[in-house]
Amino acid sequence: MKRIFLKYCITMICFGAALPLSAKILHEERSLYSTIVVTQTGNTRCLQFDVRSEQRSQSCIDVRRPKQMVFSYTRMSITSVLFAEAPKNILVIGLGGGTLPTAFHALLPQARIDVVEIDPAVISVAKSFFNFQPTSNLIVHAQDARVWTKRALLGPTRYDIIVLDAFNGEYIPEHLMTQEYLTETKSLLTPTGVLLANTFTGSNLYHNESTTYAKVFGPFINFRIPESANRMIVAPNIKPTDTQLKARAAVWSDRLQPYGVPIVRFARLLTKQRREKPDWRQNARVLTDQYAPANLLQSGDE
């Protein structure tokens, strides 16, 4: 029992198991939703939540080069600009350290960016440690995304870009993965808008996630890059041609260099992957409010 307790302490409370020996804890607090830890190793500063797995970093920055995107999934998310020209309204679900909305704000200063984050403590940490600064055009809402979306549907604003990037300590909250929620979110898109969702290639829910998105959005691009375990579901309302994607990537290439985004390479991958056949079981059960991810994770059923 003593060994079990010590292992639990190291993994869940002390955080030592997943941190490099040189990591320095800059901040730690228990919020209503998770234990939040900010660590720094060399010039890399990371936001972490307590989880069972060894990988806990939700967001990282290089303090010397704050524009440089450390995580591949944030670089992948920027490909949204290839599908939505001159976006006026952008919605990001899940703040983390604020890397993505901060980049959108710098790259598209005229756009209104709404960020929805359930945990006020995460918002405070993003401001204090990750250079996240709300403005009149970059607005953060401390609210559950499901509730916020339902209320937003009653208003006039529709979004050219929507990025779903809400992770808690384990995975994406189950009520933000269902057919019902995705249908509501799709209704917030403009006719020419695009939705991107950050998920994992190795998730136990890969097949169910894929069939659920296909049910709501129809065929989507299953965007993957070899160096990442993340995949980006890309669901545009209007599908640009290969020529358009490549031309738009060329326009964005120089502007995205400080962020480390190889947008020309990403455009090539997108043009290739949009033609690939689904690699998931297309008869996998769709996730709904009655048949949710927690049920699958507990039962092992997919």
Domains and CATH numbers, the chain: 2-62 (no CATH), 72-289 (3.40.50.150)
Q: Residue 134 is encoded by which pair of tokens?
A: 């709300």
pLDDT value of residue 13? 32
CA atoms within 13 A on the CB side of 26: 16
Residue with the two structure tokens 């790259």 = 107
- Residues 6 or more apart whose CB falls under 8 angstroms from that of 176 comprise 93, 145, 146, 164, 166
Could you tell me which of 270, 231, 258, 216 has the C-alpha nearest to residue 81? 270
pLDDT at 171: 85
H helix or E strand, kind and range, residue 148: helix 145-152
Residue with tokens 């995949």: 231
Query: Of 164, 166, 94, 98, which Cα lies nearest the Cα of 135?
Result: 98
Catalytic residue among 165, 242, 279, 301: 165
With contact defined as beta carbons under 8 Å apart, do 79 and 221 qualify? no
Amino acid at 219: P
Our answer to whether residue 165 is catalytic in this structure is yes
Question: What pLDDT score was predicted for residue 301?
Answer: 57
**What does the alpha-carbon distance between residue 233 and residue 198 come to, in Å, rounded to a whole number?**
7
How far lies 200's CA from each of 71, 182, 214, 225, in Å?
A: 13, 17, 16, 12
Per-residue pLDDT of the chain (302 residues; tens, 9 = 90+): 333 322 323 333 333 334 555 689 999 999 999 899 999 999 999 999 874 444 457 789 999 999 999 999 999 999 999 999 899 999 999 999 999 999 999 999 999 999 999 999 999 999 999 999 999 999 999 999 999 999 999 999 999 999 999 987 678 999 999 999 999 999 999 999 999 999 998 888 999 999 999 999 999 999 999 999 999 999 999 999 999 999 999 999 999 999 999 999 999 999 999 999 999 999 999 999 999 887 787 665 55
Q: Chain-centre distance of CA 98, in angstroms?
A: 11
Given this model, what pLDDT does residue 155 score? 98
